[in-house]
Chains A and B, each alone.
Chain A
Amino acid sequence: MSTTLITPVLTKGIGELNLREIAVYREQGGYEQLRRAVVELSPKDVADICNGSNLRGRGGAGFPTGRKWSFLPKDATTRYMVCNCDEAEPGTFKDRMLLEETPHQIIEGILIGAYAIGCDHAYIYIRGEFKRGYEIMRDAVAQARAAGFLGENIFGTGKKLEFTIHRGAGAYICGEETGLLNSLEGKRGEPRLKPPFPAIKGLYGEPTVVNNVETLAYLPSIMKNGPEWFAKVGPERSPGYKVVSISGHVAKPGNYEVPLGTTIRQLIYDCAGGLRPGRSFMGVQPGGGSSACLFEEHLDVSYDFDSVTKAGSMLGSGAMVVFDDTTDFVKASYALIRFFSHESCGQCTPCREGGYWIQKTLERILAGGGVDSDVDVIKSAAHQLTGLNLCALGDSIEPFLASVIARYEDQFRAYIKPGAAAVGVS
């Protein structure tokens, strides 16, 4: 196994040190970059560093972080920084690891980001299921507050930086940034119509930045090593490091922090130990449940935002699910479609009804009651409901389904008795 690929930056010390203790984190240089930002640098200096690093959002969309910050109106008096720790994309488990293992790095990142955008009250939204992570974060925030790193008079500068931890209550859609803001406001987590984007009208109607945990957690390292250090790693337009969650049919599932630009083959075979003995490769979902499946011919694709998109899928949250030759892609599709159907907030008809209908049709196919037209019908439905919804959840139904039907339609057909016609429709 080649260990040179794995480059611990965020994950440095995890498994060796108790980074939940502020003293341990500070021994590693923790909170020094926050101090430097607040005491020595202007918010614009910090934003310039972020811009210079070309850091792109690690939550799913891969939007350049510095540009997201730049959309905030210059004259706004109130701005909010919200850290999105509602990780629930199928196959993704990096944020939970960071939350439970290195909470201070997250806090420092959030506070650096908050300072850069001129915000004096930052929030972190933690998924409801992460009760343990929430408790760890609560203790870490208490330690940071006692140390004077957040609160009324940070680092004795007289500046105020408040911090609130908000725990969700079970809803995937709250990972969508406007759904998250509604949930944080004590409402149903239903995504909002955009525009206006949160940068203009976000939390409590004020300009708001919502950034993923991993994105913000990279800020202290970028501040410490300089923006060039990050920008020089991997492809020019998609640089830096990334924590990749690899699961499914691999020998050693887990989180692996690698430079972007590592190939998919290297990630599966060098990092995650390859497939289990005697098995062969059938596909990989490279960016969470919302991404299209890639196949044998894509193994040498560079794992970065642009290359994976060019290959017909997306890097998304950086969660790879690997499929070997034991995979039943009808069942795999069903698991994902049932998920999207279950998690649809119900505002948009195409997503609410379309996902549900495809789920029911797949159920029928799996139960042996499928008819010849079913495969075309689910393909058509998934395609037709795409692009008609307020958020990306509905649009996430089609990619995986369409990609595996295109490649393994025989698996779907094998469930259907030839010549079977729909019951009740003549």
Chain B
Amino acid sequence: MSTQTDATGVHPAAILGSAAGDALAGWSPFARRPGDPFDDLHAQLLPEIERIIAQYEEKRSGLIPLAHLFQDHEGYVSPNALAAIAYHVGETLASVESTISFYTLLFRKPVGKYVIQICRNLSCMLNGADEIMAYAREGLGIAHFETTADGLISYEEVECLAACDRAPCAQVNLEFVYDLTRESVDAMIVAIRAGTYEVKPLVQTAKPGRTWKVEADTGRKSAGALNQSNPNNAGGIGDTSGVQMFDLIVGKVQYESRSNERLVRETQLRPEISGNGHH
């Protein structure tokens, strides 16, 4: 596979003519500008990229392994990496981004050199995970999904890590840590900050922000939620915002129940209202 062609198999220089050819020589079609350091990384990883894709009968299957590969070398799946993956697996950038965004272990923004992931699921909870997590948050001075200001540590509360016999458990850069106590959490944080922790740091090529999650991941709000939300505005089928909207439009309607059937029934009683969106 050559880096000298774009997804259609045509190098940009061929389109722009030979004069542009010199300037574009060695410029992979997904790099942002000539001389981008990503080009060197890409060239270095190319044999591994080709080996990964050759393992599968369809190249799209290489998408997640390539994301792991670039994340291992850049600390996150950078915009350049997304474009490179799209190029190699022959998919659109949108499709690659959509796929990457599905998986919690693929970071779309830079993270700390240490990612601490404490399990919050049932067996750990029964063995004191809530207290351990609160203690860790306090010790780190950050919340779930956040990175310390120095960019060293990211913190996340995750689902069952399959180490329930050693609860509460965690992973640090995907290495298991078992039988957490306040003391072991303290010791872990101290060792990470002192640079003496047993687990190797992740590669970091860009400074992390406060969180690595994009806004939409950190808190969901269903469409149509009103500003004057209240504890009933849970979203979806339990969301009363639709009911409130209805109230605003057609006047006060009494609801004993917040069920969908009720809403449907009320709407059907007023076909002239449901027929057009306003007045």
Contact = CB atoms under 8 A, between A and B. Distances in A.
A310 to B, nearest CB: 24
A341 to B, nearest CB: 9
Contacts of B244: 424
A261 interface: no
A335 B126 CA distance: 10
Nearest to A342: B159
Interface in B206-232: 220, 222, 228, 230-232
Interface stretch (B7-15, B40-48, B98-106, B264-272): B98-106
Interface stretch (B31-39, B170-178, B185-193): B170-178
Interface string A263-297: 00000000000000000000001000100000000
Contact of B232 (A88, A168, A248, A425): A425
Contacts of A335: 120-122, 125
B136 interface: no
A357 B231 CA distance: 11
B126 A129 contact: no
B105 A169 contact: yes
Interface string A226-250: 0000000000000000000111110
Contacts of A289: 121-122, 160
B2 to A, nearest CB: 21
Contacts of B174: 129, 131-132
A128 to B, nearest CB: 5
Given A132-B175, A423-B232, A424-B232, A88 B162 contact: yes
Nearest to A331: B125
Contacts of A245: 164-165
A96 B119 CA distance: 16
A41 interface: no
Contacts of B106: 169-170
A132 B176 CA distance: 9
B159 A172 contact: yes
A185 B105 contact: no
Interface string B58-73: 1011111101100000
A93 interface: yes
A-B pairs with the 10 shortest C-beta distances? A353-B236, A186-B63, A169-B103, A247-B164, A170-B105, A357-B238, A170-B104, A360-B234, A186-B60, A424-B230
Given A128-B68, A321-B122, 14 more contacts: A88-B162, A91-B122, A166-B61, A183-B64, A186-B91, A187-B63, A253-B166, A321-B123, A335-B122, A354-B236, A377-B258, A423-B230, A423-B232, A424-B228
10 contacts: A88-B162, A92-B164, A167-B65, A171-B104, A186-B99, A189-B102, A253-B164, A335-B122, A360-B238, A422-B232
